[in-house]
A = this chain, B = another copy of it.
Amino acid sequence: MAAIEICADCSVRDLALCGSLTDHELEALNALGRHQRLSKGETVIWAGDESIICANLLSGVLKLSASTADGREQIVGLHYPADFIGRPYADAADFTVTALTDAQLCVFPRKQFEQVLEDHVRMERLLLQRTFAALDEARGRMLMLGRKSAEEKIAGFLLDMADRAGSSACRATAEGPITFDLPLTRGQIADVLGLTIETVSRQMTKLKASGVIGLPGGRAVTLRDRAALEERAEPA
């Protein structure tokens, strides 16, 4: 019955990998999983550490990051609710996972999670599909990092964030000017885009000055002219 207690009211019940399992199958996972709360800034997985856990993200936003020996950081991925976290089949983690907001995870011991994958082919296939999607996304970001200008990076990033905000639970005022909150600080945006905080700030100011976006204050952004933003993200 514990199964029902934990999974039945799970906020991401049919968005996460687990959605591929029947109620009956869920019991196996349920016995393994435990909930974990993270505070903003807290790190769950450190690059280089033994790869102990896998998890589903229930709420909040996490960053996946890599660093050079002398401390420069690059965010290589962002995780949102229902995303899968962790690296099955590896003995050490290559990347650090840190909470950008307060967050909740459903955590499984890695080895046991691997066993569940083996026993539930449908779930393994779903994970394979997600992993391919993540790979495509990472490669798309490689193009961004290697070949796009600061302005293109910022414009593209804002469009991405707007799309995510529109589809999920951020405040979006119908059509026309859409306003939403970025879940990232300027510094974190810089770490996603391979820029510095000053360049991010300047480009945002420039977009605001040309009337393409508005910056009502705090983390909020208003899209005033989506077409213009798209043009700046991807010059013909």
- Which of A34-42, A72-80, A161-169, A220-228 faces chain B? A72-80
The answer, yes or no, to whether A121 is at the interface (CB within 8 Å) is yes
> What mask results when residues 128 to 145 of chain A are scored 1 for a CB within 8 Å of chain B, else 0?
110110111011111101
Contact partners of A140 in chain B: CB under 8 A: 66, 94
The answer, yes or no, to whether A147 is at the interface (CB within 8 Å) is yes
Question: How many residues belonging to A are interface residues under a CB distance threshold of 8 Å?
Answer: 45
The answer, yes or no, to whether A174 is at the interface (CB within 8 Å) is no
The answer, yes or no, to whether A118 is at the interface (CB within 8 Å) is yes
Residue contact B139 to A95, C-beta cutoff 8 Å: yes
The answer, yes or no, to whether A216 is at the interface (CB within 8 Å) is no
The answer, yes or no, to whether A219 is at the interface (CB within 8 Å) is no
Residue contact A66 to B139, C-beta cutoff 8 Å: yes
Interface residues of A (CB under 8 A from B): 64, 66-70, 72-74, 76-77, 87-90, 94-95, 117-118, 121, 124-125, 127-129, 131-132, 134-136, 138-143, 145-148, 193-194, 234-236
